[in-house]
């Protein structure tokens, strides 16, 4: 397996909570090392306290049998690591990507209301779009 093939396999591993975005587009993949016998994958946990690291490890091993997954906190993951494709994938899922200005993922307006600071997880907060008459979640920039 080449490094490119390893990345291609990782690009098929979706985030368990947001199944439209891969761990590559989330910017979780810090390092990939291809050995004759196996592949070492170093991942950055996206948010402290966010669940699903076990699920992600299992999914990586399913996509790449024999992969050895480690999680590291240095460098720290930040929302800047999310790729353009990843931001579009978040919008398609109905979640506003982390940006300076929160926009409705459906219509793009900035005229949105903050519903509260505590979303369904510590990673996300809830907003309401008056134009769409619908609530949506926004990723918190960190």
Distance CA 80, CA 26 (A): 9
Q: Identify which of 126, 142, 121, 117 has the alpha carbon closest to the alpha carbon of residue 49.
A: 121
Distance CA 30, CA 75 (A): 8
The smaller minimum CB distance to Zn ion, of residues 81 and 106, is found at: 106
79 token code pair: 């929302």
Site residues for Zn ion, window 5-44 (CB under 5 A)? none
State in angstroms the smallest separation of the CB of 109 from Zn ion: 5
State in angstroms the smallest separation of the CB of 99 from Zn ion: 15
Indicate whether 129 belongs to the interface with Zn ion (CB under 5 A). yes
Q: Show the binding pattern over residues 58-97: x = contacts Zn ion (CB under 5 A), - = does not.
A: ----------------------------------------
Beta bridge partners of 124: 139
Please name the helix (run of DSSP H) or strand (run of DSSP E) that holds residue 128, with its range, or none: strand 124-129
Could you tell me which stretch among 15-23, 51-59, 84-92, 103-111 binds Zn ion (CB under 5 A)? Answer: 103-111
141 token code pair: 């920039």
Residues lying near Zn ion in the complex (CB under 5 A) are found at 104, 106-107, 129, 131-132
């Amino acid at each position: 397996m080449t490094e490119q093939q390893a990345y291609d396999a990782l690009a098929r591993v979706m985030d368990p909570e947001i199944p439209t975005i891969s761990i590559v587009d989330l910017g979780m993949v810090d390092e990939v090392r291809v050995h004759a016998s196996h592949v070492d994958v170093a991942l950055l946990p996206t948010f402290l306290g966010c669940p699903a690291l076990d699920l992600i490890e299992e999914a990586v091993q399913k996509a790449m049998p024999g992969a050895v997954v480690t999680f590291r906190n240095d460098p720290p993951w930040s929302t800047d690591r999310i790729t353009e494709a990843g931001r579009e994938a978040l919008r398609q899922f109905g979640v506003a990507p982390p940006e300076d200005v929160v926009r409705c993922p459906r219509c793009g307006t900035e005229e949105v209301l903050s519903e509260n600071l505590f979303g369904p997880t510590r990673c996300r907060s809830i907003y309401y779009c008056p134009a769409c008459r619908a609530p949506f979640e926004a990723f918190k920039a960190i």
